[in-house]
Amino acid sequence: MSAQIRQAIQSLPIMDVMEIRALLETDALAWWQLRLEALRNEPFAFGKTVEEHMKISVEEIARRLKSLKENSIYLGAFDGDQLIGKATFIRETGVKDRHKGHIYAVYVSPSHRGKGVARAMLTEMIEGAKQDPSLEQIVLVAVTGGNAQKLYKSLGFKTFGTELRGLKVGSTYIDEDHMVLRLR
Ligand SMILES: CC(C)(COP(=O)(O)OP(=O)(O)OC[C@H]1O[C@@H](n2cnc3c(N)ncnc32)[C@H](O)[C@@H]1OP(=O)(O)O)[C@@H](O)C(=O)NCCC(=O)NCCS
């Protein structure tokens, strides 16, 4: 995210008491805790386990937040001081792949679902990405047929491939759709 875009979405009110903003190093603990909640609540929605997450320190998350490269951003949705939603956009940095970015780790706490929080976060990400003419597409992976995929489709993402049995959670296999949004 360019400096101007980052500044523009630094504090974006979406409802009376909620706001969406770029997360800072000082938000590392809140992000770490919400990621833990996400992995505990939704084991079929994400590629990592609680145990894997526990090996990542809050300091490591702070380091990641501090060292984000161009266009990459961790967005958070807040109800007052409480982080209740998150989504990550990471832009590739290589000469041959910096025209694209990935959306990861989209999550909204159950108490705040169905109010447009995820849609608002992703819309901000997409609008931010559109400001940079050298960013051409956004890719992501979604559980085939899940609620998140409905959201991604409604934002214009198209499935370009399905990996059957992309995840194995215990003895349950999860199919995953690979989706792309062309920005230009
Ligand atoms: C998917 C998720 C992020 C949606 O968050 P949310 O803030 O409740 O979503 P929104 O209120 O912004 O809804 C946006 C769209 O998502 C879809 N959606 C969300 N919840 C849905 C549900 N329970 N049933 C059907 N569609 C649903 C709809 O298309 C909805 O659009 P609409 O309001 O116009 O119908 C949230 O349910 C969540 O965190 N789920 C578990 C984690 C997950 O699956 N993450 C994605 C990993 S790929």
Q: Residue 16 pLDDT > 60, yes or no? A: no
- Å from CA of 109 to ligand 1 middle: 11
Place of tokens 């706490």: 109
Q: Residue 2 pLDDT > 80, yes or no? A: no
Q: Residue 144 pLDDT > 80, yes or no? A: yes
User: Residue 14: pLDDT band by 50, 70, 90 thresholds?
Assistant: low
Q: What is the mean pLDDT of residues 144-166?
A: 98
- Å from CA of 59 to ligand 1 middle: 30
Q: What is the mean pLDDT of residues 119-147?
A: 97
Q: What is the mean pLDDT of residues 174-181?
A: 98
What Å distances lie between residue 46 and 42, 104, 134, CA to CA?
7, 9, 29
pLDDT at 18: 86
Q: What lines the ligand 1 site, CB under 6 Å?
A: 42, 45, 106-108, 113-119, 142-143, 146-148, 150-151, 154
The chain-wide mean pLDDT, for the chain, equals 93
- Å from CA of 171 to ligand 1 middle: 26
Q: Where are the beta strands (DSSP E) in the chain?
A: 12-13, 18-22, 73-79, 82-91, 100-108, 137-143, 158-169, 172-182
CA-nearest residue, atom 31 of ligand 1 = 151
Beta strands 82-91 and 100-108 are antiparallel
User: Residue 5: pLDDT band by 50, 70, 90 thresholds?
Assistant: low
